[in-house]
């Protein structure tokens, strides 16, 4: 059987922006003075998306700027309170060795105590995250469930 190869991808947030009050943009683009004029919109065709139209040139400018700053993708969320969108400009890349090591070191792992420590008997197992010189996690016994911090020298990974 072939061993599964794990790939690591890093997602970095290049920028978070709000594009709001798009309802007034339509009026301005069409030369309507919203302080002194009103307008009715006649809809043709069927809209399938929820939200507010945004000028394509404005969107291209936003994307071009953030692409130059390293963004490769965009996450767009409709903001109905402010007639607009919240956008996170994201960069996906292959993870570096340092990022992989940091990620792996921060993942919870199964730990077993190799000696009694502060009321926790030897042989006790719990899930914990490795920190600098200690593990931190949650340990349960008949008496209850406790958040614990325990030195690495009294534990081993299972």
Determine the distance from the C-alpha atom of residue 154 to the mean position of all C-alpha atoms in its chain, rounded to a whole number: 35
Between CA 70 and CA 72, with CA 71 as vertex, the angle to 5 degrees is 115
Q: Which of 71-75, 93-97, 107-111 is predicted with the least confidence, judged by mean pLDDT?
A: 107-111
What confidence score (pLDDT) does residue 2 get?
A: 73
Q: Provide CB contacts within 8 A for 157, sequence distance 6+.
A: 109, 110, 111, 112
Does position 68 have pLDDT exceeding 90, yes or no?
yes
Q: Is the pLDDT of residue 29 over 90?
A: no
Q: Which CATH architecture has domain 106-157?
A: Roll (2.30)
pLDDT value at residue 25: 83
* Total-model pTM: 0.63
Q: How far is CA 78 from CA 2, 70, 75, 86, 87, in A?
A: 44, 23, 10, 6, 9
Residue 101 clears pLDDT 80, i.e. is over it: yes
Q: How far is CA 115 from CA 118, 147, 152, 156, in A?
A: 10, 18, 11, 10
How is the chain split into domains, by residue range? 9-94, 106-157
Q: Is the pLDDT of residue 12 over 80?
A: yes
The pLDDT, as a whole number, for residue 133 is: 87
């Amino acid at each position: 059987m072939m061993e599964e190869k794990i790939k690591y991808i890093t997602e970095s947030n290049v920028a978070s922006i709000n594009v709001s009050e798009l309802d007034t943009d339509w009026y301005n683009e069409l030369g309507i003075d919203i302080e002194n004029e009103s307008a009715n919109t006649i809809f043709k065709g069927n809209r399938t998306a929820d939200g507010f139209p945004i000028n394509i040139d404005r969107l291209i400018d936003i994307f071009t700027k953030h692409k130059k700053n390293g963004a490769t993708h965009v996450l767009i969320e409709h903001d109905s309170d402010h007639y607009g969108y919240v956008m996170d400009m994201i960069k996906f890349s292959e993870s570096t060795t340092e990022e992989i090591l940091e990620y792996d070191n921060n993942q919870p792992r199964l730990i077993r105590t190799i000696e009694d420590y502060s009321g926790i008997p030897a042989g006790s197992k719990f899930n914990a995250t490795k920190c600098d010189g200690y593990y931190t996690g949650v340990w349960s016994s008949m008496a209850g469930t406790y958040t614990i911090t325990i030195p690495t020298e009294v534990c081993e990974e299972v």
